[in-house]
Amino acid sequence: MPTILWLILALIVASILLVIITEIVNSIKLKNELPTLWDNIKPLEKFIRPNSRHDYQYELYKDNYDTNLLIDDKTWNDLDMPQLFSIMNFNFTAIGEMRLVSALRHMKKINNEKLFQVFNENDGVRNFVAYHLAKIGKTIYPIFPDQLQPIKRNYFYMFSTYLPLIAIIITLLNTGLGIMLLILVCIYNMALSGMLKRTYIEDLNSMFYNSSVVNKAYKLSKSDDLPDISVDFKHFIVARRFSWLLGKASTDNDAFTVIAFIKMLLMLDYFLFHLIQASFKRYEDEVLACYDYIAMLDNHYSVALWRKSLDSYSVPKTTEDKVEFDDLVHPLLNKAVPNSLTLDFNMLLTGSNASGKSTFMKALAVNLLLAQSVNTTTAKKFVYKPGLIYTAMVNQDSITSGDSYFMSELKSINRLFKIPQNQNVYCFIDEIFKGTNTTERIAASESVLSHLNDSEQFTIIAATHDIELADLLQHKYHNYHFNESIRNNEIHFDFTIKTGKADTRNAIELLRITDFPDFIYERAKHNVGKI
């Protein structure tokens, strides 16, 4: 065999060995790092990728569900769920992140307590799962199932993979002719590969990601400690055995440029892409099952680690007639004041600003959401009747829609009347109709809350500054309040819920404490007695 061929062969072998050694070293580093993530309660990646689409799965599939059963956009934003998602997000994979958002919006469930226990107690299984999830990673945020759409193959291009091999065989018979053909074929394949790759680079990325997901699902499903998956992996033998040759589509993602160069010479990416894609489209449901399996494992790891980060949590229990909780706190607050209550009635909350009304309502709403999505609550005890969750809390003017604050309130509250009344519904309304004048606010609020009270399926928790409203609704709503005290010219809040309506009004005293001019304070104090 000519010397040049020996040199080419040696270069190929050396490059492959270098890639293998590099992968082994990187794998060892990753395996050593993973246990420290669990011990230190840290994610593998501490940044948000610019190509992230956390809500893509939810937005893609929400129309396939009864949207009344999902957490709508208003409630999602009122409850600061994007911020809570970021705190809970210890996922290794892009599809895990997307599924976590879907679960928090009640499209999916993360509630396998046996799997939570495995991750908490079995270091070997936890690290085994974490390693394979980390190898999938977040480099690609797939657009499923669009990435499974087949692309028509060109059989001449497929045959181009064999042309360098044919040229090498000819070289053995006729050195001069063979080397000339080999050079021409290599130039042709490189030009063709570069041209084609620009047209299907995203599809190649998706194919690599699909193959990686299927491969990891196969390996993870073989563990006796993990849930089974209903997929016949024989359908994906080619993908599992040869997809590693694809590497990632872009050259800078290949371990070494030499390997990318060899792949171009042999048209390997195009060849393997079309060899593998047919099985993915033919068995699309099984590919998507692998996606959900990987994301499900990722989610349970993420929630298990989030639980570990909490000062305390409980697994909720369901009942048929009430909500009962001990030491409930909001999951976004550090050193929060806990509250305990049994709620089997509609509630009207009164109290001054910053006394704790909104935080209490959000804490209860968020925990009802978490109980029904990730089977976790930030309370020592949480018993509840499952139901839909709707909020009308954080309203604001909208320049783009032209809505005033009050119009935004009207739309937010009006949607509550369109909820089907065939199941339990929790409604949280904060500072109802505060965007209009006192007289009309009280009249409208009484009318709305009285009507909602007539529905046996609704549990209403509303907050107001209007003590008069508490008097009007005292036979329909149970009055509770938060209050504050002023000591040594400082205001103090205990953030503890109490029975009855608010019995303090300290707004004018706050004028004095915050150093308003004395004549402002005295005039306000004089006026309040006449109003």
pLDDT digits (tens, 9 = 90+) for 89-99: 999 999 999 99
**Could you tell me the pLDDT band of residue 173, with boundaries at 50, 70 and 90?**
confident
What pTM was computed for the model? 0.88
Mean pLDDT for 162-169 is 84
Cα gap 118→226, rounded to integer Å: 8
- Please write down the HEC assignment for all residues of 163-178: HHHHHHHHHHHCHHHH
Please give the average per-residue pLDDT across 218-229, as a whole number. 96
Give percent above pLDDT 90 in the chain: 55
Between residues 331 and 162, the one the model is more confident about: 331
Rg (CA), the chain: 31
Give yes or no for a contact between 298 and 92, defined as CB atoms under 8 angstroms apart: yes
Distance of alpha carbon 111 from alpha carbon 300, whole angstroms = 8
Q: How confident is the model at residue 146 (pLDDT cuts 50, 70, 90)?
A: low
Beta bridge partners of 499: 480
- Per-residue pLDDT at 251: 43
Query: Rounded to an integer, what distance in angstroms lies between the CA atom of residue 370 and that of residue 375?
Result: 6
Q: For residue 451, give both structure tokens.
A: 């009507």
**Least trusted range by pLDDT, from 89-93, 247-251, 408-412:** 247-251
**In the prediction, which pLDDT does 526 show?**
83
Question: Which pairing describes strands 388-392 and 425-429: parallel, antiparallel, or unpaired?
Answer: parallel
What three-state secondary structure class fits 428? strand
In the numeric block, the tokens 């309370």 are attached to 379
Indicate the pairing of strand 323-328 with strand 381-384: antiparallel
Please choose, from the candidates 63, 52, 99, the residue with its C-alpha nearest in 3D space to the C-alpha of residue 292: 99
Rounded to whole angstroms, the maximal C-alpha distance in the chain is 112
One-character DSSP codes across 442-511: HHHHHHHHHHHHT-TTEEEEEEES-HHHHHHTTTTSEEEE--EEEETTEEEE----EESS-----HHHHH
Kindly report the three-state secondary structure assignment for every residue of 354-423: CCCHHHHHHHHHHHHHHHCCCCCECCCEEEECCCEEEEECCCCCECCCCECHHHHHHHHHHHHHHCCCCC
**Pick from 160, 183, 261: which is nearest to 5 by CA?**
183
What element of type H or E holds 281?
Answer: helix 268-282
Instruction: Say which range, 110-119, 301-310, 382-391, 501-510, has the weakest mean pLDDT.
Output: 501-510
Distance CA 429, CA 392 (A): 5
* Dihedral sign for Cα atoms in the order 303, 305, 311, 316: positive
**Token reading at 430:** 């904060």
pLDDT score recorded for residue 249: 41
Q: Which of 115, 92, 98 is nearest to 38 (CA)?
A: 92
CA 508 to chain centre: 44
Element (H, E) at 512: helix 507-513
d(CA 153, CA 9): 30
Query: What is the total residue count of the chain?
Result: 531
Residue 105 has pLDDT above 80, yes or no: yes
**How far is CA 74 from each of CA 47, 377, 389, rounded to the nearest angstrom?**
27, 22, 11
The pLDDT of residue 488 is above 90: no
Q: How far apart are CA 324 and CA 342, in angstroms?
A: 4
Half-sphere exposure of residue 92: CA atoms within 13 angstroms, side-chain side: 26
Predicted pLDDT at 508 = 82
| Residue 277 CB neighbour total at 10 angstroms | 22
